Amino acid sequence: MAARMTRQRTAVVEALDELADFRSAQQLHETLRARGESVGLATVYRALQALADASEVDVLRAEDGESLYRRCARREHHHHLVCRHCGRTVEIDGPTVEAWASKVAAAQGFDDIEHTIELWGTCADCRASAATK
């Protein structure tokens, strides 16, 4: 059952570890290629999917629908504040919101409840570079 340890899988994990921000599969593929650690695009997708299934990476959808991946510091459930320009991310805890979400959903007779809570904004750096123009 354990995933086989290959050069490609290792390269993907290492790239994620060095990156602090949410990145798309395509971006990661390009990053790996630039480093010479070339990995097939399909393999990047497969590695990311496996990592997501194992809860080793978090996945979220950008506004344009593209999936973004990140190796977060915490393994526990949490949420994110993400810069929509550069992907910079702050991990967020929301005990208040957690309680609110499950209460509201249960009150309506819904089961198998999940919630999507993500905050998007422009980080201080991206605001600064936009002002420069």
Partner DNA sequence: ATCAGGCGTGAGAATCATTCTCATGAACTC
Partner DNA sequence: GAGTTCATGAGAATGATTCTCACGCCTGAT
* Residue 101 CA to its chain's centroid (Å): 21
Query: Is 59 near a copy of itself (CB under 8 A)?
Result: no
Lay out the sheet containing 67-70: strands in order across: 23-24, 67-70, 58-61
Structure tokens at 74: 């915490």
Nearer to a copy of itself, 2 or 107 (CB): 107
Burial of residue 46, with CB atoms counted within 10 A of its CB: 0-12 exposed, 13-18 middle, 19 or more buried:
middle
How far is Cα 7 from Cα 13, in angstroms, rounded to an integer?
Answer: 10
The minimum distance between CB 24 and DNA, in angstroms, equals: 5
* Residue 9 CA to its chain's centroid (Å): 17
Stretch that binds a copy of itself, among 8-16, 17-25, 42-50, 98-106 (CB under 8 A): 98-106
Query: Is 51 near DNA (CB under 7 A)?
Result: no
Stretch that binds DNA, among 44-52, 89-97, 102-110, 122-130 (CB under 7 A): 44-52
Burial of residue 32, with CB atoms counted within 10 A of its CB: 0-12 exposed, 13-18 middle, 19 or more buried:
buried
Query: Is 92 near a copy of itself (CB under 8 A)?
Result: yes
Binders in 74-113 for DNA, by CB under 7 A: none
Nearer to a copy of itself, 3 or 97 (CB): 97
Q: In the complex, which residues of this chain contact a copy of itself (CB under 8 A)?
A: 61, 65, 67, 81, 83, 90, 92, 94, 96-97, 100-101, 104-105, 108-124, 127
